[in-house]
Amino acid sequence: MKAAFAYMGNIYLPLRILFAELGIELIVPPSPNKRTLELGTQLAPETMCIPFKITLGNIVNAMEMGADTVMHTTGFWSCRFGYYGRLYCYILKDLGYKFHHFDVSGSRFKEHYQLVKSLTKNSDTIAFKSILKAMYKSWNKSNLMEFMEQITRNIRPFEIDKGKATRILNRYLKALDKISSIKVIKQLKKRFINEVNSIKKDLSRQPLKIKIIGESYCVIEPFVNFNLIQVLGENGILVDPFLTAHKWLGFHSARLGNPERKVIKKLAHPYWKYNVGGEDENAVGYSLLAAQQGYDGIIGLHPFGCMSSNAVQPVLQKISRDKNIPYLDIGIDEHTSETGFYTRIDAFISVLEKRRKMTY
């Protein structure tokens, strides 16, 4: 069984080993690029959101590379993310592909179990063991990936040799993708810490602190946000995205719950009562938290046309006025140009720097 896979940041890292341990080969297409976007835009309905178009491009690429199964989630809540799978299937069928589709949403656990059992010689013991082992290994990998990404983000504003932390991160992520033993993962972590400690830093700098909120795909996937997190970091700004690939897996896929989520929900409630998808409740909650924690500014990224993000904009602007924290919102679609995007970011950073000078 060869599963087609769609990108979202580095999520392929823990997922590849999860499926490999269960006997499913994950076909990882080229990471999102201009061609993926063109393909997705051509095939998708015009007013669908950009995450749909890019993930569709990825899946079609994966089908071209020999995948025979499409994995998708469904969900009966307000946002249209739950319909992605259905639309992928329509479009692939129209293109003439023969494929199976598999719903990976949590409510279908029995089906998942049956699938794994069929791949592991129809034995309950082996199936159960495989699932536990797969989850343990992928969780460890995901944790290390999150750790490395977070350290890199925190070091970038302080490094003297611009880009060094990113280069180290990329090397280690490549290495992490290849290993599958827990022992080696732990050794890799130690080596990473040593190497990162040896980077020359100027700790006297006082970088601006910016929170990035918005729709999960736009915040996590570098192709969509024009590599914003890396670029801002290398220009001396401490960037804190509210969501990363690891946290998305934890919040959404495994629903592990988190005391932080309860705090966010409680904070957001006076401003926004229901969670309608598209990370709107989180956007409101994390903005309030950022204001409390003294961040210099908030950048909100969302796909053009995202219903939930549009609905929550007035609330975020009110929070920005009430709490006196600058907020920049950018809607991204296939026509957004990198130059236009960074012009707005530059102007926003200038505003933050001037505000800082006025208060010091």
Partner 1 sequence: MKPRIGIARALYSFYHFPLWRKFFEELDCKIVLSPPTTRKMLVDGVKIAPVEICLPIKAFLGHIALLSKEVDCILVPRMVCINPHRSAQPNKMCELKYGCPKAIGLPDMVKALFDNSTHILDLTIDERIMDQRQSFRKIGRLFSANNKKILQAWNSALIEQERYESLLLDGLRPSEIFSQDILEKNKSSTLHSFSDDAKYDSNVPRKRTQKNAEKIGLAQIESAKICVPKPQIGLIGHPYLIYDNLLSLSLFDTIEKLGVGIQSVSSVSNTTIDEEMKQISGVHWFYELDIIGSTAYFLKQKSIAGLLFAFSFSCGTSAVVSEIIREELLDFYDIPSITILFDEHTASAGLLTRVESFIDLLTRKPRAMSRL
Count other Cβ atoms within 10 Å, centred on residue 9. Answer: 24
Min. distance of Cβ 34 from partner 1 in angstroms?
23
Strand order in the sheet with 327-332: 237-241, 208-214, 297-303, 327-332
Q: Output the smallest distance, CB 199 to partner 1, in A.
A: 42
For partner 1, which is the closer residue by CB, 68 or 333?
A: 333
Q: Least distance (Å) from partner 1 to the CB of residue 296?
A: 23
Nearest CB to partner 1, comparing residues 25 and 333:
333
Alpha helices in 6-123 (DSSP H): 12-21, 34-43, 50-64, 84-95, 109-119
Strand partners, 238: 209
**Closer to partner 1 at the Cβ: 233 or 331?**
331
Cβ density class 140-160: b for 16+ within 10 Å, e for less: bbbebbbebbebbbebbbbbe
8 phi/psi in degrees, rounded to 5: -155, 95
CB 228 within 8 A of CB 121: no
Residues 319 and 287 sit within 8 Å (Cβ to Cβ): yes
Of 177 and 333, which CB lies nearer to partner 1 in the complex structure? 333
Residue 114: how many other CB atoms lie within 10 Å: 13
Q: Specify the residue, 20 or 311, whose C-beta has the smaller distance to partner 1.
A: 311
The SS3 of residue 49 is: coil
Q: How far is the CB of 326 from partner 1 (least distance, A)?
A: 17
Rounded CA separation 241/243 (Å): 5
Catalogue the E-assigned strands of the chain.
2-4, 25-27, 69-72, 100-103, 208-214, 237-241, 297-303, 327-332
Q: What minimum distance in Å lies between the beta carbon of 73 and partner 1? A: 13
Chain residues in the site for partner 1 (CB under 8 A): 45-49, 74, 76-80, 82-83, 86-87, 90, 271-274, 276-278, 280, 304-308, 310-315, 317-318, 331
- Closer CB to partner 1, residue 177 or residue 334? 334
Tell me how far apart the alpha carbons of residues 137 and 26 are, in angstroms, rounded to a whole number. 16
- If the CB atoms of residues 136 and 274 are measured against partner 1, the closer one turns out to be 274
What SS3 state is found at 274? coil
Q: How far is the CB of 279 from partner 1 (least distance, A)?
A: 12
Taking the least distance from each CB to partner 1, the nearer of 53 and 246 is 53
**Shortest Å distance, C-beta 316 to partner 1:** 8
Q: Which residues pair with 65 in a beta bridge?
A: none
**Minimum distance from CB of 327 to partner 1 (Å)?**
13
Pick the closest to residue 211 from 317, 294, 333, 308 (CA basis): 294
22, 119 Cβ separation under 8 angstroms = yes
* Max Cα–Cα distance, the chain, nearest Å: 69
Which residue, 159 or 281, has its beta carbon nearer to partner 1?
281
Minimal distance, residue 258 CB to partner 1, in Å: 23
At its nearest, how many Å lie between partner 1 and the CB of residue 52? 9
By beta-carbon proximity to partner 1, the closer residue of 82 and 207 is 82
